[in-house]
Amino acid sequence: MKKYFTLILMLVSSLAFGAKKLPNIVLILMDDFGYGCINANGAPENLVQTPNMNSLAKEGMNFSNVSTLCSVCAPTRYGIMTGSFPFRVPIRDIQYSPLHIAAEKLTLQKMLQEKGYNTAIVGKWHMGFGSKAGPIDLRKPIDVGANSTGFNYSFIVPQNHGDVMGIFMENDAIWGLKSDEMNPYESEWNGIKFKFFGFDAPQRVFDTTQDVLNEKALAWLEEASKSDKPFYLYFATTALHAPFTPSKKNAGKTELGEYGDYILDADDMVGLIVNFLKKKNIYDDTILILTADNGADCETVDYDRSKDPNGGNPILNYMQDVQRKGIRLNGEYRLGKGSMFEGGTHIPFMLRWGKNFPQDARSDEEFSLVDIMATIAEIVDYKLERGEHAAPDSFSVLNIWKGKKQARPYIVTESGNGIRTIRKDGFKYIEGIVRDAKVERFKRLYNLHEDQKETKDLIRVFPDEAQELQDKLDEITALKMSY
Ligand SMILES: [Ca+2]
């Protein structure tokens, strides 16, 4: 009798207290979006306006010291989705296949599915398809892709804005494919040629791609919000990856030209999501994260196109012209996308969850995008069985998200060509070794607390500290996990 009574009591209490729905989660991951592109982070308002992101900073938290995993796209995305440093797997030279997330990997989205979430990705994928290496024919059935990593729904750009596929994919098949015919074609932006396979399916158009993604994201949210299940939307935007092709609505509006107009598109997108959540009265029940995979693709103002026999790199020339108008796209940080310096890895991060997290707050605490997975695991009470395939490098930084102080043991990042950096107590060590002997010269040590622009190399001043950090990197590599 006592046993039954206990059982009934447990049922009653789970109905009364345990029925609290888990929070919805929307993770907006911008592409190549620099720390300094937002007014709230220093972008001059006379050049470009980001009212929706500024409001988010006021309604939630704005972090000034968050690092991405790598200063280019795919490795960072891998790290966010798996809680694993991307140097543990070969991810570079991605050509659509194979799928880079192994079947045995626990992902953020699988974890949330297990907790009863309805999950979706809308936007840039860049994680490959299929179980076999080599060129993949997207017209044929695909055995593994975005959905098999834990998304109930996917509507994706296979690689990135401007990719040769030129199509959208829905649930890992080409969206609207009519036949096997191919009619290759080209287009041009800023003197750069873009080639497309010409699948017999709706083609992405540069200046409407983000609009299509917005519509798909809102349509999915509309459906998902009708259900009792909590939802997780991973919204990976095409903005602001080159080509910089703003919508007709915003073209010509800013003093920064197409680049600034494209920032307006990105800001409008944030407004659409926030307004949707407010309209549905679920804004306070949703964890909203806004961040970026890596910094803007720009050099410092010292980049000298005149020394290049070809007149410089078209994108870097373009970005330099933008910065000469008086904006620092990556804030005060050195260099940008692809580099091992902070301009490539020091990204914007905003966060809101009603009254559960501070509002109108700034935080200078340090953490990494690899920590999203373990932090969310703690929030939704998912017990991570730590190991090589379960968030091996992710630390819960929930205290930081709650506005408190918490020291993450160290921060590891990578450059586009796989040079790793490790940061601890202000010291940032750049290993400058491994794949190519020519990069040996990049072995460096900086004190970011005193020199955030990374101008004074201290490797000869503090050789022991540098060695200690190299040893730590070696240990992290050998153990296959750092948690
Ligand atoms: Ca990127």
pLDDT tens for 299-319 read 776 788 999 898 988 888 999
pLDDT tens for 363-399 read 999 999 999 999 999 999 999 999 999 999 999 999 9
Same domain, 443 and 384: no
Q: How far away, in angstroms, is 328 Cα from ligand 1 center?
A: 18
Given a cut of 70, whether residue 13 has pLDDT beyond it is: no
Helix residue ranges per DSSP H, 202-308:
209-224, 258-279
As a whole number, the mean pLDDT across the chain is 93
For residue 17, tell me if it sits in a domain: no
Q: What is the CATH number of the domain that holds 351?
A: 3.40.720.10
Given a cut of 60, whether residue 7 has pLDDT beyond it is: no
- The residue type of 104 is E
pLDDT tens for 156-194 read 999 999 999 999 999 999 999 999 999 999 999 988 999
Per-residue tokens: 235: 């919204």
Q: How far away, in angstroms, is 280 Cα from ligand 1 center?
A: 31
Residues 6 or more apart from 188 whose CB is under 8 A from it?
194
Given a cut of 50, whether residue 76 has pLDDT beyond it is: yes
Q: How far away, in angstroms, is 71 Cα from ligand 1 center?
A: 8
Instruction: Answer whether the bond into residue 98 is a cis peptide, omega within 30°.
Output: yes
For residue 124, tell me if it sits in a domain: yes
pTM metric for this prediction: 0.94
Same domain, 70 and 159: yes
Q: How far away, in angstroms, is 147 Cα from ligand 1 center?
A: 21
Given a cut of 80, whether residue 410 has pLDDT beyond it is: yes
Same domain, 299 and 439: no
Looking at the 3D structure of the chain, how many domains does it have?
2
Q: How far away, in angstroms, is 66 Cα from ligand 1 center?
A: 16
Distance separating alpha carbons of residues 431 and 86, to the nearest angstrom: 16
The stretch 284-293 carries a mean pLDDT of 98
Domain boundary among 352, 373, 405: 405
Give the angle 471-473-477 at the CA atoms, nearest 5°: 115
Q: How far away, in angstroms, is 260 Cα from ligand 1 center?
A: 17
Same domain, 255 and 386: yes
Residues 6 or more apart from 464 whose CB is under 8 A from it?
none
Instruction: Single out the residue of 185, 224, 222, 226 nearest to residue 203, CA to CA.
Output: 185
Q: How far away, in angstroms, is 113 Cα from ligand 1 center?
A: 26
Same domain, 391 and 431: no
Q: What is the CATH number of the domain that holds 461?
A: 3.30.1120
Q: How far away, in angstroms, is 241 Cα from ligand 1 center?
A: 7
Given a cut of 60, whether residue 5 has pLDDT beyond it is: no
Domain boundary among 354, 378, 405: 405
Q: How far away, in angstroms, is 31 Cα from ligand 1 center?
A: 4
User: For residue 299, what pLDDT is reported?
Assistant: 77
* pLDDT class of 35 with cuts at 50, 70, 90: very high
* pLDDT class of 246 with cuts at 50, 70, 90: very high
Same domain, 227 and 324: yes
The stretch 20-40 carries a mean pLDDT of 96
Chain centroid to CA 200: 31
Per-residue tokens: 136: 């993949």
Q: How far away, in angstroms, is 227 Cα from ligand 1 center?
A: 33
Given a cut of 50, whether residue 16 has pLDDT beyond it is: no
Task: Give the range among 42-56, 96-110, 439-453 with minimum mean pLDDT.
Answer: 439-453
Given a cut of 80, whether residue 434 has pLDDT beyond it is: no
Q: How far away, in angstroms, is 367 Cα from ligand 1 center?
A: 19
Same domain, 384 and 478: no
* pLDDT class of 435 with cuts at 50, 70, 90: low
Q: Is 354 helix (H, G, I), strand (E, B) or coil?
A: coil
Same domain, 259 and 177: yes
The stretch 219-237 carries a mean pLDDT of 97
The stretch 196-205 carries a mean pLDDT of 98
For residue 476, tell me if it sits in a domain: yes
Q: How far away, in angstroms, is 207 Cα from ligand 1 center?
A: 18
Q: How far away, in angstroms, is 468 Cα from ligand 1 center?
A: 31
Torsion, Cα 90 94 96 98, to 10 degrees, reads -10
Question: Domain range for residue 457?
Answer: 419-483
Q: How far away, in angstroms, is 125 Cα from ligand 1 center?
A: 11
User: For residue 91, what pLDDT is reported?
Assistant: 78
Answer for the pair 421, 413: CB distance below 8 angstroms, yes or no.
yes
Same domain, 164 and 257: yes
The stretch 43-56 carries a mean pLDDT of 98
For residue 39, tell me if it sits in a domain: yes
Place of tokens 């997780």: 232
What is the share, in percent, of the chain residues with pLDDT greater than 90? 86
Q: How far away, in angstroms, is 416 Cα from ligand 1 center?
A: 10
Residue 190, φ and ψ in degrees, nearest 5 = 50, 40
Domain boundary among 342, 376, 405: 405
For residue 414, tell me if it sits in a domain: no
Strand partners of residue 187: 194
* pLDDT class of 298 with cuts at 50, 70, 90: confident
Same domain, 357 and 424: no
Distance separating alpha carbons of residues 373 and 177, to the nearest angstrom: 35
Answer for the pair 201, 278: CB distance below 8 angstroms, yes or no.
no
Q: How far away, in angstroms, is 32 Cα from ligand 1 center?
A: 4
- H or E element: which one contains 65? strand 61-67
Residues 6 or more apart from 90 whose CB is under 8 A from it?
none
Q: How far away, in angstroms, is 77 Cα from ligand 1 center?
A: 9
Distance separating alpha carbons of residues 223 and 67, to the nearest angstrom: 33
For residue 261, tell me if it sits in a domain: yes
